[in-house]
Structure 1
Amino acid sequence: MSPHPLRDRSRELRKNATKQEKRLWHQYLNSFPVRMHRQMVLGNYIVDFYCHKAKLVVEIDGGQHFDDEGLKKDEFRTAWLESQGLIVLRFTNLEVDRNFFEVCERIREVVDQRLVELTDR
């Protein structure tokens, strides 16, 4: 067993990204003006996308997130991430598929807003 199971799992998730994660990464976030990371380990969690400079997590939620157990896990996960000073943006697979440009625009808006907020501190 690896001494870094979360790091190993994050590599596996990068290799086996969902269609929506691949699209968002290759068509937008990979060339975003502020550096983004894919499948980043934060604490005991692996987040889909992370922007350190803006303290922003972007999650793309599939069907497993919408049952009672998934919703409860996401609630705890989001609470922990927010307790670390991070903002969490969540989009569904359907939103990425049907409203791709709006999803991209929302990410850009939040990054821009966060950069101003964090600079003003």
Structure 2
Amino acid sequence: MKIDPNLLEFAKSMRHTATDAEHLMWQILRAKRFMDLKFCRQHVIKPYIVDFYCHEIGLVVELDGGQYGTDDAVEYDAERTKFLEPLGLTVVRYWNHDVLGRIDVVLEHLWQVCDELRVN
């Protein structure tokens, strides 16, 4: 399946404008630093671009900022999840402020999710 070049270019531009939370999470996930799993960032799963993706275990990690508390954003996230889960993917979401202020709690939860997905 050919991916729209505009979508790929947008994903690439998003890598260069990462939030502080995305940057911190990428430093942890990149280069198989977390559980020896290979993660990609700003990965295209047409028609969406997900924040982080691990093909090996079918995991999508999304980081949400303050704008995600709105009804429209909640509805959009629900649509994305409804699209991704039937593809066999697991979607987990973390708030940016938790990544920046409680990274230990976020990583403990992420470790549990990855560990369960590896077993299945």
TM-score, normalization: structure 1?
0.90
1:1-121 matches, within 5 Å, as 4-26=5-27, 28-30=28-30, 31-32=33-34, 33-117=36-120
Corresponding residue pairs, total: 114
Alignment gaps of 5+ in structure 1: none
Identity %, equivalent residues:
39
Deviation at 1:44, TM superposition (A): 0.3
For residues 56-108 of structure 1, give each alpha carbon's deviation from its aligned partner in whole angstroms, at most 9, with x where no partner exists.
00000012211111111011001101111111000001111221011112112
Deviation at 1:20, TM superposition (A): 0.2
Alignment gaps of 5+ in structure 2: none
TM-score, normalization: structure 2?
0.91
Distance, in Å, in 1 between the alignment partners of 2:67 and 2:86 is: 24
Over aligned residues, Cα RMSD in angstroms?
1.0
Distance, in Å, in 1 between the alignment partners of 2:108 and 2:68 is: 23
User: Secondary structure of the equivalent of 1:10?
Assistant: helix
